Copies of this chain bind each other. A is one copy, B any other.
Amino acid sequence: MSKNNPLLEAFNNAIYPVGSHSKRNIQVLKEVLNDSDGNLDSDVYGSGKLIENFQEEMAAFLGKETAVFFPSGTMAQQIALRIWCDSKGSKKVAYHPLSHLEIHEEDGLKELHHIETILLGDKDRLIRLEDVLQMKDDIACLLIELPQREIGGQLPDYEELVAICTYCREKGIKLHLDGARLYEILPYYQRTAAEICELFDSVYISFYKGIGGIAGAILAGNEAFTKESKVWKRRYGGDLISLYPYILSSSYYFKRRLPKMNQYYQEAKVLAEYYNQCHGVVTKPLEPVTNMFHVHVDLPKEKLEPILVDLYEETGVGLTHYVRESSETTCCYEVNIGDRFANIPKDELTKAFQRLDAKMREAIGVSG
């Protein structure tokens, strides 16, 4: 695959890849299994200590009564919205136009549940209090994603978030948190996961994003909610006889990486500064509020790619394995900071960004 993709190939050969924790290879699981006792019994269709203990730990972490382990967030979130729709007797929910449910799930929510989705706010900004106040439809549930990934991982002010949630509570609108990257927002908000989740009726968290596990998700809420979610998990074919490869890896990397979320966040701010000093390059947000951000470049994708390939080969620093076209003259990519960043010598990083700046000046036509 990388043979036809020079950027990916150059990234894979780079000595200092900048983003994420490690390569997505089998070693990620081998490390977990080497740390696990072979005599540990498998979970069996949602039962057994292995799954029950982890669910209890996560419920406590999120400050919810109960939690259920799911193979994926797609499954967990559709089910959450369906349950809130059934409880309200309404087939309408609201979320951001770039919600995962809207753009990455082949319309599963609509095809499987015939739920109508109200898109709140605009594609290029967060949902605001005024968007919520102006909602005309009688919706069962508002889904809020924190951070809003597709616009670079932005976050509302905490006061605005509280105001949105308070309004919905008063109106009898259920609140679901798409907290795939919930861990990553704790340092900025300076709050515990439980404090943030208290604003919501249900919450989903993921274990392969910031945590760097293999796959898997937790859905949490009150007991009636999670009980019903287990019935739907069975209906979806998500109640596997054994989910332990995902549970063990979730638990393993959760323990190791949760304490490092502030480090990743501080490093993201450092890296964004490097980017923003380059001509024709800007990050979104300008100052990250989590360990992630987007990089926007004033060059067409076809022009940036060979520049990056040369850069990686010259400096050994790999900035991204892909670039996405955003218009005919601009392109962008996402950056997530994980374990790798701390291992890159500052000198090498400085050198790489000096070279990037020089190359960008040349490409854009700025005189030195």
Contact = CB atoms under 8 A, between A and B. Distances in A.
B26 A235 contact: no
A4 interface: no
B29 A33 contact: yes
Interface in A216-249: 231-232, 234-246, 248
Contact of A106 (B29, B112, B234): B234
A100 to B, nearest CB: 10
Contact of A105 (B235, B245, B246): B235
A25 interface: yes
A24 B242 contact: yes
How many copies the complex holds: the figure is 2
A203 to B, nearest CB: 17
A126 interface: no
Contact of A27 (B23, B24, B38, B234): B38
B235 A237 contact: no
Interface in A76-119: 76, 78, 105-108, 111-113
Interface in A107-151: 107-108, 111-113
Given A36-B30, A240-B72, A245-B29, A234 B108 contact: yes
15 contacts: A24-B44, A25-B38, A26-B33, A26-B39, A29-B33, A30-B38, A72-B237, A72-B238, A72-B240, A74-B236, A74-B239, A108-B235, A112-B236, A214-B241, A215-B243
